[in-house]
Amino acid sequence: MGEHPRTLTIDAAMSRALELAARGPAHGPNPRVGCVLLAPAPHGTGLPDGASPDSLDPHPRAVLAEGYHQGAGTPHAEAAALADARARGIDVTGATAVVTLEPCAHTGRTPPCADALVAAGVAEVVHAVDDPNPAATGGAHRLRAAGVRVVRGLRAAEGEELLRVWLTAVRRDTPYVTLKTATTLDGYVAAQDGTSRWITGTAAREHAHRVRAEVDAIAIGTGTLLADDPALTARVRAHGAASAEALAEHQPLRVVVGLRGIPPTARVRGPGGELLHVLSRDVSQVLGRLAEREVRHVLVEGGPTLATAFLAAGAVDELHAYVAPVLLGGGRRVVGGLGVATIADAHRFRTVEVRRVGDDALVVSRKSVEGRVG
């Protein structure tokens, strides 16, 4: 893992663990998790099982090792930290493990982390967020059964925010849905003749591709496929090139929704992510198919028919609205009818970020907790 801080309080160790977790990939079926192993508590200062995070030992301790999860099939954060300790020749008996997510208790691609911590002789585990995954939960119970003291909820809000997408998907067993739109100032996605390239500028399109590289799947309707023939790839600027682009390392699943066929020469059949054609117009069926494939985050890119369907179904968790300083005065709207007759029935979101992207603006909004939600 390279160099790490020499000493940290438990609270600061959780901040470090959150920082480590954020280094892991945002895409994939597994959560981003970080772990810091601290030296044993001085005699008599260890916490009782179930203690409040507010009563944690405020004194700095030596950092023994650390680790984070680097993606599906790689060691979990706790296992990575234990491996870091072994590589350094460090005995972690009696140590405190500070972890962003409750250690898992199931055997998947890797053994249970709770068992690994017990086997290593760890005496205390402090975690930020309880694991909601029914297949993995129970780690805290297994630790306690083995005599390990467990404290939960340290920096829980920060842990929840880091894992927001994954937690949402796992808790309800359907993917987190981000809807992307790119419109003119007056709300159009295409001119009256159907042309739409390019409403937004280069910087906005590059940002959109960086988002694609962080999601598990991109979805469009068959109408958009036939009209625009998109490749649905995540592209990045090639190293050392002013304008050339290359495929990003991670390519999301390409999802086409609708009953019409995909032409054999369509660009979605070319290099990029796997192609999935969902022969349905039912949003719940689409999300169900994606959940079966462990898709945690799907980016819905259009067109207006698919966007309207997801909004009308109340399935959109987050909006990425790119707005260009362009006026058309007519054309195709970004969203069709939503059955809203009065302002009280409006689909409301809360703005979490407004960013200038080149000459365009990006407004990021999330599902509102009050009133009717989109």
Tokens in use for 184?
């003119």
Distances (CA, A) of 23 to 68, 69, 162, 278: 8, 8, 11, 33
**CB-count burial class (<10 Å; 0-12, 13-18, 19+) for 26:** middle
CB within 8 A of 286, min separation 6: which ones?
Answer: 219, 255, 257, 278, 280
Q: What is the DSSP letter of 54?
A: G
* Catalytic hit among 3, 19, 66, 78: 78
Neighbours of 364 (CB within 10 A): 15
CB within 8 A of 139, min separation 6: which ones?
Answer: 102, 103, 104, 105, 112, 113, 114, 131
Of 309, 308, 302, residue with least CA distance to 282: 309
Q: Would you tell me the crossing angle of helices 10-21 and 77-87 to the nearest 10 degrees?
A: 110
CB within 8 A of 41, min separation 6: which ones?
Answer: 47, 57, 61, 94, 96, 123, 124
Tokens in use for 115?
């068992």
**CB-count burial class (<10 Å; 0-12, 13-18, 19+) for 353:** exposed
Cα–Cα distance measured from residue 182 to residue 166, given in angstroms and rounded to the nearest whole number:
25
Q: Is 206 a catalytic residue?
A: no
Of 332, 331, 287, 276, residue with least CA distance to 309: 287
Cα–Cα distance measured from residue 132 to residue 111, given in angstroms and rounded to the nearest whole number:
18
Catalytic residues, which ones? 78
